Amino acid sequence: MNDLSIRCVPSQGLPAKVLKSLEERFRIAHLLVDESGHVVSLGGVLLEKLIGSLDGGEEGCRLAVGVNLASVCPPLSDPPEHINGRWGRKVAVSVTPLDDGGRLYLFRDETTDDLAGKALREAASEAEAARRARHVFMSQTAHDFRTPLSLILGNAGLLLDPSNADNITPETALALETIRDAGEVLLKNVNDMLERMRAEAGKITADPDRYMLAPLLYAVLDGYQVEIDNRNIRLDMEDGLRRKLTGVYVHVDRVLMRKALSHLLGYILAICGPGAEIAISARLQARSVTLNLVFPTGIYDPEKVLEAFETSTHLPELDLTGLASNHALPLARQLVALHGGKLSMSRARGRAVRLALRLPVLKKRARPARESAAGDARPAA
């Protein structure tokens, strides 16, 4: 039994609410006696359930405040480690001497604890089996979708090839473009769902190294520049942001972190809609750096966006854009967590929300050769 270290507290210094709190927190009964062996306090209801009658009945120990313990229940004057309780219970007993000569007896029903532990283990096992079954089902379903989708997109691309322009009417071309665009959106959802399931199953592992954060961030921004321009979106970068991030090193897997940043930016672009303004800033602390992205929620109510972030529920309209899927944000959160980072979202002014990405930082030092070759590169996202 765990030792509750209260040896320095005299018996009269243990108020009833403290003893009651012990019982409720640790599911134990107490029996407090003074230096002469008389009962000072006891956990009546729980103690009676464990060792029998407390009111002078035929079963168990006849206990009450003021009764001499040795006269009514001799075995407890020098308690064994266990006693046989009511209804076949196995009850653990421990005694703590107090400074004033009194003693505190604690009783714990190990039989009930064992049964509760077994039930908990069985429930956890069933939950894990259900999780694995869901993972297998969703993975198989996603693969079943992805193969025919690839065929549909491939044939739509062949029919839309400029060499076939004379054989296809404008109406047919428009229908084929619709098929292709919808198929690409669905394929993006399927791929993101598969990657999310792999992350949940622990099949995505990071191979981190030391990289500067700024090149990773600006490489992803450059990769979305065409989309940003086409949608007339303005990036409001904090004054001196690049300079502030200069020399900020993070210990990350470069590929996975760029995927996380790409999922985040694609999600934000899909949420805010054309003509929006996205504010990007950074906050440096001794051991971490936080990127803040504030953006309007477009057609969505901000509270709905916050709820979707907290519960990983869907925003249906996102299924209609190729920028991001409904799996993008949960997947980004999982990838960030692989690097000891954290994503959070909060309400901003008006119809806007703030998405914060916090990462642990490393101390500055000269850039290694690997970083010089790969970390500063700015390929498309």
* Domain stops at, among 165, 200, 235: 200
380 occurs within a structural domain: no
381 occurs within a structural domain: no
- Reading the block at residue 76, the tokens are 């407890």
4 occurs within a structural domain: no
pLDDT surpassing 70 at residue 275: yes
pLDDT at 87 (0 to 100): 55
CATH code for the domain in which residue 171 is found: 1.10.287
153 occurs within a structural domain: yes
Residues 136 and 65 in one domain: no
Residues 256 and 175 in one domain: no
What are the C-alpha distances in Å from 301 to residues 25, 173, 298, 307, 323? 42, 36, 8, 10, 20
Residues 223 and 254 in one domain: yes
* Domain stops at, among 111, 131, 151: 111
Distance separating alpha carbons of residues 79 and 81, to the nearest angstrom: 7
pLDDT surpassing 80 at residue 138: no
Residues 270 and 360 in one domain: yes
For 184, the domain range is: 115-200
Neighbours of 313 (CB within 10 A): 12
What mean pLDDT value characterizes the chain? 78
Q: How confident is the model at residue 164 (pLDDT cuts 50, 70, 90)?
A: confident
Residues 214 and 288 in one domain: yes
Cβ-contact 289, 359 below 8 angstroms: yes
pLDDT at 359 (0 to 100): 95
Strands, E, within 238-329: which ranges? 249-252, 277-284, 288-296
Residues 87 and 194 in one domain: no
* Domain stops at, among 93, 111, 129: 111
Cβ-contact 197, 359 below 8 angstroms: no
SS3 29: strand
Residues 361 and 251 in one domain: yes
Residues 185 and 328 in one domain: no
Q: What is the pTM of this model?
A: 0.58
Q: How many domains does the chain have?
A: 3
Phi, psi (rounded to 5 degrees) for 103 = -140, 145
Lowest mean pLDDT among 58-62, 141-145, 268-272: 58-62
pLDDT surpassing 90 at residue 126: no
359 occurs within a structural domain: yes
What are the C-alpha distances in Å from 331 to residues 82, 139, 217, 374? 51, 15, 18, 24
Residues 92 and 127 in one domain: no
